[in-house]
Amino acid sequence: MRPITLSLLSLAIASSTFSHAAFATQPLSTLITEGKPILDLRYRYEHVDQDNTLNNANAQTLRTRVGFQSGKWYGLSALIEADNVSRIGDASYNSTRNGQGDYSVVADPGGSEVNQALLRYDHSLGSAVVGRQRINLDNQRFIGGVAWRQNEQTYDGVLGQLKPLDGMTLTYAYIDTINTIFGPGNGRFDTPANPANIDGHSHLLNAQYVLMPELTASVYQYRLGLDNLAAGGQSSQTTGVRLNGVISGISYALEYARQKDYADNPLKLDSDYYLAELGYTIQGVALKAGYEVLGGASGPGNRAFQTPLATKHAFQGWADIFLLTPANGIKDAYLGGSAPLLGGTLAAWYHDYRAERGSSHYGSEIDVSYAHAIPGVKGLVGLVKYAGYNADDFSVDTDKLWVQLQYSY
The CATH number that applies at residue 305 is 2.40.160.10
Q: For residue 261, what are the contacts with CB-CB under 8 A and spacing of at least 6?
A: 233, 235, 236, 237, 267, 268, 269
- CA distances from residue 250 to 247, 277, 281, 351 in whole angstroms, order as listed: 5, 10, 7, 21
φ, ψ for residue 14, nearest 5 deg: -60, -40
Q: How many domains does the chain have?
A: 1
- Domain containing residue 50: 3-408
Going 192 to 300 to 144 to 364, the CA torsion angle's sign is negative
Contact 269, 300 (CB under 8 A): no
Output the CA–CA distances (angstroms, integers) from residue 97 to 48, 91, 196, 321, in the order listed. Answer: 17, 11, 10, 20
Each residue's pLDDT tens digit in the chain (409 positions)? 444 444 444 444 444 444 444 445 889 999 999 999 999 999 999 999 999 999 999 999 999 999 999 999 999 999 999 999 999 999 999 999 999 999 999 999 999 999 999 999 999 999 999 999 999 999 999 999 999 999 999 999 999 999 999 999 999 999 999 999 998 877 778 887 789 999 999 999 999 999 999 999 999 999 999 988 866 668 999 999 999 999 999 999 999 999 999 998 989 999 999 999 999 999 999 999 999 999 999 888 899 999 999 999 999 999 999 999 999 999 999 999 999 999 999 999 999 999 999 999 999 999 999 999 999 999 999 999 999 999 999 999 999 999 999 999 9
pTM of the model: 0.91
State the CB neighbour count (10 A cutoff) for residue 90: 10
Q: Contact, 403 vs 383, CB < 8 A?
A: yes
Neighbours of 233 (CB within 10 A): 24
